[in-house]
Amino acid sequence: MSNSRILDDTPALSIQDLRKRFGKTNALDGVVFKLHQGERLGLLGPNGAGKTTLVRCIARRIRADQGDIVLLGEPMAPTGTSPSLGIVPQELAIYEDLSAYQNLYFFGRFHGLRGRELKHRIHWALEWTGLKDRSSQLVRHFSGGMKRRINLACGVMHSPRVLLLDEPTVGVDPQSRERIYVMIDSLSEEGCSILLTTHHMEEAEWQCDRLVIMDRGRVVADGTIDELIDQSVGPSRSVRLRIDGHSLRHHPREFGFLRKWEPEIVFRSDEEQVVELRMNDVAQYLPAILEQLSAQSVIVRDIEVQPPSLHDVFLALTGKHLRDV
């Protein structure tokens, strides 16, 4: 972005009781949340949760049955688009038979840019994506990561104040992913508000200021990662014990002193078993557990203590069963 924006308290995007039915399916069932200005909000949910429908509603590609979408304080019209909104779809929505420069040029024109302004934005986008040296090369010859970057650049040519990013790093290597997040960081620094949908829990946890988790067309959790942890799994830690397989003669549940921690074997072989326990106060309970295991000749090879993650929160809120839609 060329200029940092002055931010105020008006939400960049406000979703108010949004409802959409497809036949008998409630794709959106009263969705409510806000994206604040300059914020990076992660939108998570299992397949069929309604994320795509929601994004398409915001992009005015689907007409909601009920509810409002307010963009920068202005209710969006049921049809038509806003120049303040940028969209980067999950698919590579670019022309592979055009060069990087030509893609940027035409998408810039479609967003109303002309003349010097257009030229300036193309140069900015080429610098931003690190593709200045490849600007004249056809996109079809680009790697997956380069295509992703151009895909992203085409969505922000018109300097939108609110950006919808749908899975921006799907199918790219770690280096490209890192680069894409550097690019997104620079947008955030310029004051662009970003709604990011992703299935990468780690990315969402690291890259987003706040998270909204959807399931079955509804928002089931909304807050920062700490707030979500408190709302769902609480402060409990996951403790993983790597145990010598030959020394463990019974299922961990058969040890009475372990039952309290709901032991679960997450890995098992003749050589080794990994037992997971969940507890709130590790410092208090872990030494006693180890002592009792030792007394029963169970050899513990390694201990791993993990704080609750978004992954735990997500599974706690949406369950572990498959969502084949």
Residues near other proteins (CB under 8 A)? 56, 59-63, 78-79, 81, 83, 85, 87, 89-95, 107, 110-112, 154-155, 158
Least spacing, CB of residue 8 vs other proteins, in Å? 25
- The answer for residues whose C-beta is within 8 angstroms of residue 117's C-beta and 6 or more apart is none
CB 64 within 8 A of CB 19: yes
Least spacing, CB of residue 154 vs other proteins, in Å? 7
Q: Note the residue count of the chain.
A: 325
Q: Which is nearer to other proteins, 17 or 91 (CB)?
A: 91
Q: Which is nearer to other proteins, 58 or 248 (CB)?
A: 58
Least spacing, CB of residue 86 vs other proteins, in Å? 9
- The answer for residues whose C-beta is within 8 angstroms of residue 11's C-beta and 6 or more apart is 34, 35, 36, 37, 70, 72, 73
Structure tokens at 34: 């806000």
Least spacing, CB of residue 87 vs other proteins, in Å? 5
Largest CA distance in the chain: 80
* Amino acid making up residue 278: R
Inter-helix orientation angle 174-189/115-129, to 10°: 140
Q: Which is nearer to other proteins, 81 or 292 (CB)?
A: 81
Rounded CA-CA distance 89/83 in Å is 17
Least spacing, CB of residue 35 vs other proteins, in Å? 17
- The DSSP annotation for 68-103 comes to EEEETTEEPPSSS--TTEEEE-SS--S-TTSBHHHH
Rounded CA-CA distance 155/75 in Å is 22
Q: Which is nearer to other proteins, 110 or 267 (CB)?
A: 110
Least spacing, CB of residue 223 vs other proteins, in Å? 29
Q: Which is nearer to other proteins, 94 or 317 (CB)?
A: 94
CB-neighbour burial class of residue 100 (10 A; exposed 0-12, middle 13-18, buried 19+) = buried
Nearest CA to 15 out of 66, 82, 84 is that of: 66
Least spacing, CB of residue 142 vs other proteins, in Å? 15
Nearest CA to 200 out of 221, 185, 219, 178 is that of: 178
Q: Which is nearer to other proteins, 43 or 310 (CB)?
A: 43
Burial pattern 277-286, b for ≥16 Cβ within 10 A else e, equals bbbeebeebb
Number of other CB atoms surrounding residue 242 within 10 Å: 16
Q: Which is nearer to other proteins, 77 or 266 (CB)?
A: 77
Rounded CA-CA distance 159/157 in Å is 6
Least spacing, CB of residue 61 vs other proteins, in Å? 5
Q: Which is nearer to other proteins, 7 or 92 (CB)?
A: 92
